[in-house]
Structure 1
């Protein structure tokens, strides 16, 4: 029986590509605002398109913040994508406004210091040793679209790093909570393998 994955629908833009990509792993995927489904699913995907503040507003308005925190505390799998990674940190600062994040990890998300913004396109990722997230991925190139990033690897996690003007957090593997700044659903074979690696961790 295939594991059930909920992709959280809280108004974060077009996330159908994430749904389809997870479906291709063989999982049963539901795009929903239903918090009971998000609580009970084998895996929860937190996508993120847009600004840190608007994503946090959507998560708060739907009551999803507590669900994400509870799943993390109970070691129940969560996958954050793009701004879905950023909001797992303590704070995000955009356009002079600082917004509290979900706070699973300390640290700030801020604008990249780079000659070209946004950071858009394919880039290499320096994967950490022993990572389950990057297992079996030989070409560690993934697709990025962002202007803001976290810069401090959370203690006690396996953190992947990419450099665009300066080093930043490209992915975090914290037990059963995984998150990527890049878009695995847009990253070809490497992204498909990463999603498959995540689905294999689901009960």
Structure 2
């Protein structure tokens, strides 16, 4: 198995684009080679099989969607409040809009996991760990709301993101930025 990290990352980024554009059925090692503009067979030197590719794509999406630490540190200089929570939620949507492919690829992975038990187990662990980390971050930052409120906010934001990714016209008249503010106001208690 090849160990060139830059090539592996390029192949994973190509796989994310293929998955986002063509769906799970279009994701083949050959399609990844084509998207990455590398010789046929290159992806098969980096991934043992399609299941391995899917698992690595899942991890790569996390890398791509993780906020820039410096930008997050700058945002977190604001005092813990609903306003800061609104800013954080808006930043999530901005990251989604900048990297639609990673979010669409994750949606495709969710669908594929309904048909593949091994992927289902791994994706469940992956998403559960992300949710737990988000809850810990929120609570640890002193933002308003308890752990349950953060789960509700996660679910509401997931729905907003899916709509914005797939059928943005549905929420356009309701102004997603305003919806985010309403979600935070309704789900998180006022700052004392």
Q: Which TM-score applies when normalising by structure 2?
A: 0.26
Q: Which TM-score applies when normalising by structure 1?
A: 0.25
Greater share of helix: 2
Greater share of strand: 1
